[in-house]
Structure 1
Amino acid sequence: MSDTRDKFELNENGIPNFDRLPLRKGDPMLAAWGLYGDNDELGTLNRLTDARVAAAARSEIRTGIRVSMNWPLNAQEKGSFFNRRLFHQEMFAKPPRTVNDDIWTFNSQCSSQWDGLRHFGYQKERKFYNGVTMDDIHACDVETGEKSTVNGIQAWAEKGIVGRGVLVDYNSWRLAQGYDEKINVADAFATTPISAADLKACLAAQGTEVRFGDVLLVRSGWMAAHASKTEAEIKALQAEFSQHRFVGLEQSEEMLRWIWESFSAVAGDQPSLECWPTQKDWSLHEVLLSGWGCPIGELFHLEKLAEECRRLNRWSFFVASEPCNVEGGVASPPNILAIF
């Protein structure tokens, strides 16, 4: 950080102000490349310092109650959105011993997932976090045959995504404003933007304070809407690959400013964290993943978590997530728990 402080003017949270982005002339929209060094692969996870994690554990772990946010890997066993390969398990016995093994094959984004830094680049510039190119990612050493691991998910597996989490139960708040539940279900499968102003209003109604470095979790209502539909309805929606429409975070400067100034990672319960398709000529995926190195979580199962938060009248908790240690991995199941 000493080199970073010499190069960039940082605020009290140890980051440049939003209005100073991009940090270097010629870099893409709002990029923070070089903030933690040219070879950094943690991005906003650098905000999860040991001190910040320890403070979160002290303040948030009170009862020991644990709630999983992992949708089953086979939750979409008959079809998936974005035409991703489904989870398949092959189990077999190993006689004469009383022993079983199994083999799993699946797309790392067919269920709950963290999008990693290899997933989505700046589309116009064709570059990923810290200026990494497609050639860099797909490179293979001619002599050794070793494949490149730059920006791979293994960098996040070393220490995990661990700290204070906050749930914005937007779906419950929206219904409390008088929205009809049937309309809410329909909007989940439409390009329905969720504004930063509404997320902040929901947090205020919950009485939830945001602290710098938190992990943001947004319950949009998509998962609840999905559960209310018939198998035939879901199959028809999945078949519309080129016409997918989902509720999600709006593409706006206000949303980006709020995320930059507040969070270490962001996640939601829908197939695309942001409303899909994007309503701008850019997407949140570009800025969050490739500009800032900010993990994006999708298809998190937040229904039980919302129930527990309402029961406790408390929407903050300790988060422990361990992405899979796959060198050069693009994405990973989150393996995530909320601990109260």
Structure 2
Amino acid sequence: MEGLPKFSDLPLNKGDPHHSAWGLYGKDDQLGFLNRLTDEVVLEAAKEIQTGARISLNWPLDAQKDIPFFGRQVFHQHMYNKPPGLSMTTSGRSTLKAAASVRDGLRHFAYQKEAKFYNGVTMDDIHAEGSVVNGIGAWSEKGIVGRGVLLDFHSWRLENNIPYEPFKTGSIPLQQLKAVAEAQGVEFKFGDILIIRSGYMAAFNELKKDELAALAKVMPPTFSGVEQSEEMLEWIWNNFSAVAGDQPSFECWPTQKDFMLHEVLLSGWGCPIGELFDLEALAEHCKKVGRWSFFVTSEVCNVPGGVASPPNILAMF
């Protein structure tokens, strides 16, 4: 993209946290990487709609029932009589950061050492009376809409006999993700929405309840995800407007480095992170039609000051 600072120029301001790009879109910006989704980029992405096929990537809100990972609250649905019909309410944090598909917002994760969020926002700023700064509601105005690309790592690694254990700390190397893109014939466009099928959801669906309960008790929890590396960060910086996967943490967890991708992506760049996306039907359709790019529309909940939201996401072909 013309005018985009080089990755090697980060951080943009002396004294700011590592790799940060604070001020790139203005000191009060709350959209971050979503500024990359210009009208022109979205219009071009709309060309991906050719057949009208639509696929949801939303894992049901009650998918993990009473065995959530990361200590997240389960989804609660309350039914009560209200003649002449039946009404329903939901409760808990399930509408924001539940044990289901989620889109992390800019209040979710700070630079750990500096204790600062995107564009230098502090915890005091967030907890100030009436403050909605960096709230996910700011993303709801135009949504997260553009060209999505699925990298089906799970299918690729099975075809190439590459071992992968989603419930153990481990990394998906950038080199392998690039190999997946090459095998699929994918060519990235600036502003693409990156979606990675690691195989976590496929593995989760095969486990019995007692196995899930045992894994949920592992503290800290351990998951495989994309590697923490300078190369991974540079790849994301140069190409994408948002990232997501079917894993609980997107990146390897716990981190194997002295930093976490969450710090840089959310707090440094304002790059949305999607987790626990259900990519099984999407992967099947992509393989069937031989195309791994599509139009994406994701409308997060309009919660002023919200930390996270269900993605409410559809892929259209």
TM-score (norm 2): 0.97
Match of 1:98 among 81, 85, 89: 85
Q: How does 1:11-30 map to 2 (within 5 A)?
A: 12-30=1-19
Unaligned 5+ segments in structure 2 are: none
**What residue in structure 2 maps to residue 73 of structure 1?**
61
Q: How does 1:140-155 map to 2 (within 5 A)?
A: 140=129, 147-155=130-138
Match of 2:204 among 214, 226, 250: 226
State the Cα distance separating 1:98 from its structure 2 match: 2.9
* Structure 2 residue 70 is matched with structure 1 residue 82: yes
State the Cα distance separating 1:93 from its structure 2 match: 2.1
Larger radius of gyration, structure 1 or 2? Answer: 1
State the Cα distance separating 1:281 from its structure 2 match: 0.8
* Structure 2 residue 143 is matched with structure 1 residue 201: no
Using the alignment, how far apart are the partners of 1:209 and 1:229 within structure 2? 35
* Structure 2 residue 314 is matched with structure 1 residue 331: no
Using the alignment, how far apart are the partners of 1:230 and 1:100 within structure 2? 33
Using the alignment, how far apart are the partners of 1:178 and 1:156 within structure 2? 40
**What residue in structure 2 maps to residue 160 of structure 1?**
143
Deviations 1:195-229 (A, max 9, x none): 11111110000001110000000000011111111
**Quick one: which amino acid aligns to residue 55 of structure 1?**
E
Do the aligned partners of 1:69 and 1:302 also contact (CA within 8 Å) in 2? yes
**Quick one: which amino acid aligns to residue 166 of structure 1?**
V
**What residue in structure 2 maps to residue 190 of structure 1?**
168
Work out the number of aligned pairs and report it. 315
**What residue in structure 2 maps to residue 8 of structure 1?**
none
TM-score (norm 1): 0.91
State the Cα distance separating 1:99 from its structure 2 match: 4.4
**Quick one: which amino acid aligns to residue 193 of structure 2?**
V
Do the aligned partners of 1:32 and 1:292 also contact (CA within 8 Å) in 2? yes
Do the aligned partners of 1:67 and 1:338 also contact (CA within 8 Å) in 2? yes
Do the aligned partners of 2:171 and 2:225 also contact (CA within 8 Å) in 1? yes
State the Cα distance separating 1:133 from its structure 2 match: 0.3
Match of 2:279 among 274, 293, 302: 302
Q: How does 1:308-327 map to 2 (within 5 A)?
A: 308-327=285-304
State the Cα distance separating 1:103 from its structure 2 match: 3.1
Match of 1:275 among 248, 252, 269: 252
Using the alignment, how far apart are the partners of 1:218 and 1:129 within structure 2? 24
Match of 1:134 among 123, 129, 132: 123
* Structure 2 residue 21 is matched with structure 1 residue 38: no
- SS class of match (1:188): coil
State the Cα distance separating 1:13 from its structure 2 match: 3.5
Unaligned 5+ segments in structure 1 are: 1-11, 141-146
CA RMSD of aligned residues (A): 1.0
